[in-house]
Amino acid sequence: MPAFADLPPPPPGADAAWLDDALDRLPGDTRVVIIAADRFAGAPCPPAAALRRLVLGRLPVIAWFERDLAGAALDLALAADIRVAAESAAFRGPAGWSERAALLAPALAPRLAAGERLAAQELFDAGLVTALRAPGAAEAEARRLAGVLLARGPIALELAKEAVWRGLPQPIEQALRFETDLTMLLQTTKDRAEGVRAFLEKRTPSFTGE
Amino acid sequence: MAEPVRFAVDDRGVAVITLDRPERRNAINLQMRDLLWEYLGAAAAIPEVRVILFRGEGPCFSAGADISEFGTAPSIMAARRARHDRDIWWQLLTHPCVTIARMHGYCYGAGLELPLFCDLRIASGDARLALPEVTLAYIPSAGGTQMLPRIAPPAVAAHLILTGEPIGAADALRWGIVDAVVPPAGLDAAVEAAIERALADPAAARARRLRLLGAADTGESPAPLP
CATH of the domain at A164: 1.10.12
Do A132 and A174 have their domain in common? Answer: no
H/E stretch holding B147 reads helix B144-151
Using CA atoms, how far apart are residues A159 and A163, in angstroms rounded to an integer? 6
State whether A156 and B134 contact (CB < 8 Å).
yes
Partner-chain residue, chosen from A157, A165, A178, that has the shortest CB–CB distance to B134: A157
In this structure, the answer to whether residues A26 and A130 fall within a common structural domain is yes
Confidence of residue B216 (pLDDT cuts 50, 70, 90): low
Does the pLDDT value for residue A172 go beyond 70? yes
Give the tens place of pLDDT for each residue, B95-140: 999 999 999 999 999 999 999 999 999 999 999 999 999 999 999 9
**How high is the pLDDT of residue A196?**
86
Residue B14 near residue B55, CB atoms below 8 Å: no
Q: Report yes or no on A28 lying in a domain.
A: yes
Do A127 and A89 share a structural domain? yes
Q: Identify whether residues A162 and A146 lie together within a single domain.
A: no
CA distance B70 to B29: 9
* Residue A114 burial (CB count, 10 A): 9
Is B69 catalytic? The answer is: no
Residue A208 domain-assigned?
no
Q: Which of B107, B185, B118, B188 is nearest to B147 (CA)?
A: B118
The pLDDT tens digits for A98-156 are: 999 999 999 999 999 999 999 999 999 999 999 999 999 999 999 999 999 999 989 99
B78 contacts in chain A (CB < 8 Å):
none
Strands of chain A, DSSP E: 3-6, 30-36, 61-65, 68-69, 82-86, 90-92, 117-119, 131-133
- Looking at the fold, whether A100 and A158 belong to one and the same domain comes out as no
Identify the domain boundary among A150, A173, A190: A150
Q: How far is B11 from chain A (nearest CA, A)?
A: 34
Residues A15 and A79 in one domain: yes
Measured between CB atoms, which of A128, A153, A183 is closest to B153? A128
Q: Is the dihedral of CA A162, A163, A168, A170 positive or negative?
A: positive
The total number of structural domains in chain A stands at 2
Angle, CA B222 vertex, CA B219 and CA B223 arms, to 5°:
65
Between B76, B90, B145, which is nearest A184 by CB? B76
Co-location of A160 and A123 in the same domain: no
The answer to whether residue A207 is domain-embedded is: no
| Residue A71 sits in the same domain as residue A174 | no
d(CA A143, CA A63): 10
Fold of B5-213: 2-enoyl-CoA Hydratase; Chain A, domain 1 (3.90.226)
Residues A146 and A165 in one domain: no
- A41 and A107 in a single domain? The answer is yes
The answer to the question of residue A209 being in a domain is no
Domain residues for A187? 154-200
- Annotation says B113 is catalytic: yes
Do A95 and A160 lie in a common domain? no
In a domain, A118, yes or no: yes
A206 falls within a domain: no
